[in-house]
Structure 1
């Protein structure tokens, strides 16, 4: 992992001039951030990435925590069956998930219009993957559906690790049910929630597969679903009429690495430090 990383960083410092590799220093980054032809695409992809991440944080992780809390109840029957059913989508291929949901949501042969019509909500249907305003949100929710099982299982394991003595002590003080979760369980699983948050951040800013399988390398419509991964892919390898430029592609990949590194450092030296102080 280290050797390809430094090879990419090195490649970003060169450019191809008359079929000769020439050292240009930080010129590729100046072009990426300063040239309107490149910066508009970069900031659009970065903004889409942040929106993609925000939906996962606002929808996936709270649902995962809620499901874990429900499934950890000893009075729930068939809990193992529910856990398996929720976790199964996480092992599916991105290509299968993207293609399947593209068929489901298709206005021509998809089953989504008929399902909404069956419950009297036909008017709510729209070609969500074909509209600039809804395509990225739709793909983010599809990703949430696929991966909600991961935070669920991590939080479920954290809840099971809470000593029974603590919960019994809370019961003696009259803290039971939902109150026990908010006042006892939630503070104890905060480190696990922090780990899930940073994993979500890293995973979303490395995302590529679902967008590519559902919308293609152009991330349509009109680049509305373009994220850093698809932008880097088109730039590095080229696509259709766009010629590949490994040096600019490496500059984009290095920018992605920098963004992820900053996010991880904020978590490690900011949030995680406070969680440790809170815990001990």
Structure 2
């Protein structure tokens, strides 16, 4: 038998992408992990091992801010999981109905906010919700709900939830489109067989379509997890680096920014900033591993 020829052209075509990815992703990642093991003492860089992580997790000057940001990140993620993804699934189910008119227009209108800049979205919603010059108070007055208006971005108990819902409004189009594509890929033979057995309407969705799109829902869930634990732009554009009021909207991204680059009177500390970034990486890695080795394995067994 002839030996298979080595396909060097594959390596040639992949090399530029691999080099760019290594330069902008792989090298900064490992360099950040390396910096987290050092600190500056008397203007000299010294290897301190895990001392930065011990300071981050146990020193009250650092741990209070870190655990507050981590808790806010989990709340930010939960709102997306419990609000954004179910709404995206419901919209996809409605838009995939063959008798729905203007479905293409609705899909486009819902997906358009996804392509907008974070800065535009954050600034625009800050203007809309402003109690001084925003249009939200007058809109609520117009429908007789003026008494419900609150300065949502100015109150600690409402600010983070408000920004999370703004993020849901912006990105609900992503799970909608992914689930919509998954629904369109379901063979018509299965749906026709269900109709013969009397399974139609909502019953067909719960008993036939939903089990078939579970892998897509799992992928959306893990993308939501990774995206929300990397969040930064919307909080920064709407509330600034201090993530007010009184750090009520502070998440790991804004905490990392202030620590690494410094802000106002706080001097930048690249070593502690690298420790925060490494902790974020570990949290995301653990979450992805739980999905891959836990949830995904059960989904495969369920499909079989």
TM value normalised by structure 2: 0.92
Q: Report matched runs for 1:1-280 at 5 Å.
A: 1-280=25-304
- Which shows bigger deviation, 41-50 or 270-279? 270-279
Separation (CA, whole Å) in 2 of partners of 1:17 and 1:240: 23
Separation (CA, whole Å) in 1 of partners of 2:26 and 2:237: 28
For residues 124-168 of structure 1, the C-alpha deviation after alignment (integer angstroms, 9 at most, x for no partner) is 000000000000000000000000000000000000000000000
Separation (CA, whole Å) in 2 of partners of 1:173 and 1:232: 56
Separation (CA, whole Å) in 1 of partners of 2:34 and 2:111: 40
Separation (CA, whole Å) in 2 of partners of 1:9 and 1:236: 14
Compute the displacement of 1:113 (Å). 0.1
CA RMSD of aligned residues (A): 0.4
TM value normalised by structure 1: 1.00
The DSSP-based 3-state class of the residue aligned with 2:45 is strand
User: Structure 1 stretches (4+) deviating beyond 6 angstroms?
Assistant: none
Separation (CA, whole Å) in 1 of partners of 2:40 and 2:119: 34
Compute the displacement of 1:184 (Å). 0.4
Compute the displacement of 1:227 (Å). 0.2
Would you say how many aligned residue pairs link Structure 1 and Structure 2?
A: 280
For structure 2, list consecutive stretches of 5 or more residues without a partner in the other structure.
1-24
Separation (CA, whole Å) in 1 of partners of 2:83 and 2:267: 38
For structure 1, list consecutive stretches of 5 or more residues without a partner in the other structure.
none
Separation (CA, whole Å) in 2 of partners of 1:237 and 1:4: 16
